[in-house]
Amino acid sequence: MTTEADIGASLSKHPRPGEVIIRSILYACGAVSIVTTIAIVYELGKEALLFFQDDRVSVGEFLTGTVWQPQVGSFGIWALALSTTLIALIAMMVALPIGLGSAIYLSEYASERVRTILKPTLEVLVGIPTVVYGFFAVIFMTPLLRSVFGDATVNFFNVLSAGIVVGILIVPLISSLSEDALHAVPDSLRQAAYGLGASKLEVSIRIVLPAALSGVAASVVVAMSRAVGETMIVALAAGASPRNFELGEDSLFGYILNPFQPGEAMTGHIVRISSGDLAYNTIDYNSIFSIGLALFAMTLLLNILSRYFVKRFREVYE
């Protein structure tokens, strides 16, 4: 009599050359991605080390300073990180309600036919080159803001315009990932809530959304990482000079946190400096690698936070 163990043993001994080849290719792809990441970190760290070895650079000033002027020996990363943070927060304020609302609509209200049409259409926005978004911010969003708030209030280059357009850019990211998480919630939870007399809105907000919270939170953090790393929009629309400030001297809401003022983001500064005529191993040249390393650390922390949310709030259903 043939047992299940005998069947399993015979199947495991059966040669599968195609499966071995596929497994080898997958292992190779994983190894390439790991080696590439290590190489990027190594090169960033090596070049940034040259920057920090300069006698004019202080690690403490780099991490806590608020003035970035390499020409005079001031290397405070917060002059650049502030604008990056402001743009990312504005982008999330735009993208989160729109993206989450569209995800709830596609998952809970739209028919299957409408969903198959609208979701790919929405994801087309991801394929638009970011330089197009940058020009859209300059020629449409900034004039619109100036017509609403006045030319005297809104500078031509400002972080609000850049933040709004970056928010438009990451809407499909939040919408698509959140919709996938909402759509994966078992239908039995919905039917149970309907059986208790809940309305569709109550089911969507109080049942489905909490059940998919881990996926939604992960999509938000990933979108935040995308906003922090955006380059062309902020380079074109936000400004080309760091927002240097002094705490206690400059107005907090009048200048430091004013979204109508220009402010160069970390990515925009890297683009501007690297596109100029800089000699290798100069202080200006090496500084862009220290900024890149700080940007890498920020996105890494956001990705770690994303994984924490996924593990902390994940719901497992039978």
What's the 3-state SS for the chain? CCCHHHHHHHHHHCCCHHHHHHHHHHHHHHHHHHHHHHHHHHHHHHHHHHHHCCCCCCHHHHHHCCCEEHHHCEECCHHHHHHHHHHHHHHHHHHHHHHHHHHHHHHHHCCHHHHHHHHHHHHHHHHCCHHHHHHHHHHHHHHHHHHHHCCCCCCCCCHHHHHHHHHHHHHHHHHHHHHHHHHCCCHHHHHHHHHCCCCHHHHHHHHHHHHCHHHHHHHHHHHHHHHHHCCHHHHHHCCCCCCCCCCCCCCHHHHHCCCCCCCCCHHHHHHHHHCCCCCCCCHHHHHHHHHHHHHHHHHHHHHHHHHHHHHHHCCCCC
Residue 49 pLDDT greater than 90, yes or no: no
Residue 280 pLDDT greater than 80, yes or no: no
Over the chain, what is the mean pLDDT? 85
- Residue-wise pLDDT for 183-241, tens only, equals 888 888 888 888 888 888 888 888 888 888 888 888 888 899 889 988 889 999 998 88
Supply the pLDDT for residue 298. 87
Question: For residue 313, what pLDDT band results from cuts at 50, 70 and 90?
Answer: low
- Residue-wise pLDDT for 156-170, tens only, equals 999 999 999 999 999
Residue 18 pLDDT greater than 70, yes or no: yes
Residue 2 pLDDT greater than 60, yes or no: no
Residue 78 pLDDT greater than 70, yes or no: yes
Read off the pTM: 0.86
- Residue-wise pLDDT for 95-136, tens only, equals 999 999 999 998 888 888 888 888 888 878 878 888 999 999
Residue 304 pLDDT greater than 60, yes or no: yes
